Structure 1
Amino acid sequence: MSDRETQDAVGDAGQAPPRSVPLARGLSTKLLMLTVLFVMMAEVLIFLPSVANFKLRWLEERLGTAAAVSVVLVQDDSESLPRTLQDDVLAALGAKAVAVRNGGVSRLLVIAEMPPQVDEHVDLAGSGPIDAMSGALDTLFFGGDRIIRVFGTVGESDTEFELVIPDKRLRAAMLVYSRNVALLSLVISLFTATLVYAAIDRIMIRPIRAMTSSMLAFARSPDDPRRVIAPENRDDEIGVAERELAGMQGQLQRTLAEQKHLADLGLAVSKINHDMRNILASAQLLSDRLSGVRDPSVQAVAPKLLRALDRAVSYSEGVLAYGRTQDPPPSRRRLRLRQLVDEVGDLLGVEAAIGIEFVNAVEADMEVDADSDQLFRVLTNLARNAIEAMAGDEDAAVVRRLTISAERTGSVSRIQVTDTGPGLPQKARENLFAAFRGSARSGGTGLGLAIAHELVRAHGGTLELVESIGGRTVFAVTIPDQPVRLDEARGLRRPA
């Protein structure tokens, strides 16, 4: 893609998302603001019953004072009190009238000016929480020029006292109380938000910020081992996330290294491919001359040598670089498997290997539906791995035998490659078909099993490790016959 196309693509998709988060939109700022908001909402829920209780206590104090004055007025006969003294009593209470009810009889003790109507009746003993909160809010927002009648008993006395009082002073006191509660709530909210912010920032935000920075740094230089995050020793979700991120980054680095190795390997093979083809062509010319020699031993070896060179030329022309080139789809034919296995043994020279016995246990009439060259490569890779595993045993008494057998069940062919080697190590079994990781010996690449696995899968079959213990390792290649297309089968049956 050219620079112009890249710019157009970016322009069509809009601006790229930022790779860093401004502080104003960061999680820390959002956390602080949400904590303050939620604490203030909680304070509002506390404020409603609190201001309602303040109103009732304020009225209760006034009624208690009026009750104390009423006792004196009842004993001294309030009707004989001078008017100025009555006004002083009412002014001290901030009330319009004071009355007492005892034994069902109500008596007005002091009165300054009877208001034309009473706007609210408050029963200190019988006010429910809902009524108290709604009345407090009504006084707080709409009061100031209303008259309230307050009544109830004081202490353990059965005498009921009544007080008619304007709500102006009550509203003023409630406003002061509300202001104080609001300021206190704000201080509590900020203090709580600071503590919550500091705790969560230390426990969550900082590790998340560290993981974000690590991912951005890793994206800039994924091949640098220093970019892999160092997980903290934590057993919570953040610790699990850090360890998983470190594992994924490490795995990605290994994968990138393997891909680079494969790319370098493919480049090297492509450079030597031309020279290799020339060398093989010269070898073919020499082998053609051998076919004219009348020596029986030469006549027996020459055809095998020609077939081996033909396969080598074919592989070279395909640039055999694992992971860089794709093998062509298998060209499947009916093959005599025993003959193909004999060719594998001749190519590997197993018979010449000291102390290693090669057994072709395939029945003479066994046929398999497969690509000849690709199946040959599969069996060669499996057999070569088995020979290398057994060649490390120096004890002459140890049995070293490589056996290739096969059986057919319906339309499925199953080929087994069995050796008496030491078995695969644990690491090789865990990365069985992974290139550069599935090798059973030091210095190996593990490409043989990886190539064989891909070729078998191309046939629609499977390659599996059946058994691997000391003295017996079995690989099984399962290849089904290619299915018959119904339209072609019907075409064959259609009369001319």
Structure 2
Amino acid sequence: MTELPAKRSLLLENSLSARVIVYSLLVTVLVTSLMALPLIAHYSDTWLKNRVAASHLVSLATEASPNGLVDLDLQKRMLGQANVFGVTVRKADGSILMLGPNMPLVHDLYYDLRQANLLAMLNLLIKAATNTGSNKVIHITGNVPGENAVLVEIDIGCHDLILQAMEGTKRALGTALFTALLVSIFFYGFLQVTVVYPLQRLTNGILAFRSAPADINRSNLLSGRIDEIGIAEEAFQQMQNDIRSTLVLRTRLAAVGMAVTKIQHDLRGTLSSVMIASDTLEASHDPDVRRVLPGLIAAVDRAVELCRSSIDFAKEGPLQLKWKRIDLHTLTEELLKECKSIRHVELINQVPQELSILGDKFQLHRAIGNLVRNALEADANKIVISTFIKEDMLEIDVSDNGAGIPEKVKNQLFKPFMSSTKIGNSGLGLSIARDVAVAHGGTISLVVSGPGRTVFSLRLPFPVDS
């Protein structure tokens, strides 16, 4: 057996481990990237709430100043620290405090922190991204934690919110990538231990078995697992045992076959001498000699035929078919004429005129002929060959009125050297017929068998050339 070179994964990207880590990274990055959107929205919401809280502190500082007045430059500095353009504080008593130049400002976008949610924040960020001009203003409304009676309204620039969102995006993506790295490392290690290493062990066992099938020291691959990998290990273990048993049997059969071939070769020479001697006995006028001579010649003929067919079967390799269009009716007529010369029997050809198939004429003649000769050896005096077309199959039936096939051999009919009729038959006819049917893409089977009726069916694809 020619040993094929084993394919090795020399490059990292061609190995199963590399694919596992790449796929795990892709999956975790995808999942955590989806997680980044809520993080960005959360960072933006927190930033806006901090601006509201800082603006409230600015208002408190203004109220605490003498007469509630603060220098405009100081207001700008405090509003700049809060990162807002202007502040409006509405209290429960109806009083309103406004801080900032040119108040109230013209607003381009509005957002209420009291009704904030993920979709609303993401929608605000998208609108702000499309309104990033220097004079675009967002009006934010919210409560101060602990002082729900106070409503704070701030005005911020779209540009400032987008800059903060970009910073939040960096942090969110960093968090996502870090999470993806941790998850992928864990996932990679888990798959390496539970999947990759066991598969590599099983693969190495298969390669070792291929290089030395007879080495029983390499046969134990069972890990005791009960999952799919464990099932594969058990199946491979059983396959190893079956193949080793087959190899041992094949080796023994090869030795026996070689010995039998040599014995049969010598036996054919001996039988040839007997045949020559029988020619001399045919001229004898002794009644006893003439009485036993036909049986002797028939027995020698059967022995010679058994030796010939056995040697031919041993030498014959896979069937090599020569495909061409065959007139099945004509082929059957030729076959029946040959069989009539063997013994007088009623042979009926029910194959329709001009029925043709694509196949090997010699091999089909051989297969159908073996079925007819099998019927003759069963002492049939009427043999009928008929055909039926069922769906895309052509069924060729060979029926006879012989003694039938014994029950004990029905299950082994198509095995070599299993004779279904008389002792002395080589038992290769049905085996060869099966090989011919399989080579043509068909099947052969025993439909019915009993005293007075036996039917074999040879089923071939029809039309074969479609």
TM range (shorter): 0.5 to 0.7
| Contact 1:96 1:164 (C-alpha < 8 Å) held by counterparts | yes
Following superposition, the deviation at residue 206 of structure 1 comes to 2.5
- Which residue is equivalent to 1:332? 339
Q: TM-score normalised to the size of structure 2?
A: 0.64
The equivalent position to 2:143 in structure 1, one of 143, 153, 161, is 153
The equivalent position to 1:187 in structure 2, one of 164, 178, 182, is 178
The equivalent position to 2:431 in structure 1, one of 440, 449, 454, is 454
d(CA) in 2 for partners of 1:275, 1:204: 60
Following superposition, the deviation at residue 86 of structure 1 comes to 3.5
Higher RCO (CA-CA < 8 Å; seq separation 6+) = 2
Equivalent residue runs for 1:55-454 within 5 Å? 55-70=44-59, 73=62, 80-83=69-72, 86-87=75-76, 89-101=78-90, 107-112=96-101, 118=107, 120-136=109-125, 147-155=137-145, 157-166=148-157, 174-222=165-213, 230-255=221-246, 264=255, 267-293=258-284, 295-318=286-309, 320=311, 322-325=313-316, 332-333=339-340, 335=343, 375=374, 412-413=399-400, 414-416=402-404, 418=406, 434=415, 451=428, 453-454=430-431
d(CA) in 2 for partners of 1:187, 1:272: 79
d(CA) in 1 for partners of 2:296, 2:344: 20
Give 5+ residue unaligned stretches, structure 2. 320-330, 346-367, 386-398, 438-442, 459-466
Equivalent position amino acid for 1:188 in 2: T
Give 5+ residue unaligned stretches, structure 1. 1-15, 338-368, 380-404, 440-446, 467-473, 483-496
d(CA) in 2 for partners of 1:450, 1:311: 12
d(CA) in 2 for partners of 1:135, 1:17: 62
| Contact 2:129 2:158 (C-alpha < 8 Å) held by counterparts | no
Q: TM-score normalised to the size of structure 1?
A: 0.60
The equivalent position to 1:19 in structure 2, one of 4, 7, 13, is 7
Equivalent position amino acid for 1:19 in 2: K
Following superposition, the deviation at residue 304 of structure 1 comes to 0.6
Equivalent position amino acid for 1:478 in 2: T
Distance of aligned partners of 1:78 and 1:289 in 2 relative to their CA distance in 1, 3 Å threshold: farther
| Contact 2:447 2:455 (C-alpha < 8 Å) held by counterparts | no
The 3-state SS of whatever aligns with 1:50 is helix
Aligned length: 389
- Which residue is equivalent to 1:7? none
The equivalent position to 1:54 in structure 2, one of 39, 43, 49, is 43
Deviations 1:78-116 (A, max 9, x none): 653444654554344233322123589784432256698
The 3-state SS of whatever aligns with 2:30 is helix
The 3-state SS of whatever aligns with 1:20 is coil
Following superposition, the deviation at residue 302 of structure 1 comes to 1.9
d(CA) in 2 for partners of 1:327, 1:34: 46
Distance of aligned partners of 1:448 and 1:80 in 2 relative to their CA distance in 1, 3 Å threshold: farther
Distance of aligned partners of 1:321 and 1:149 in 2 relative to their CA distance in 1, 3 Å threshold: same
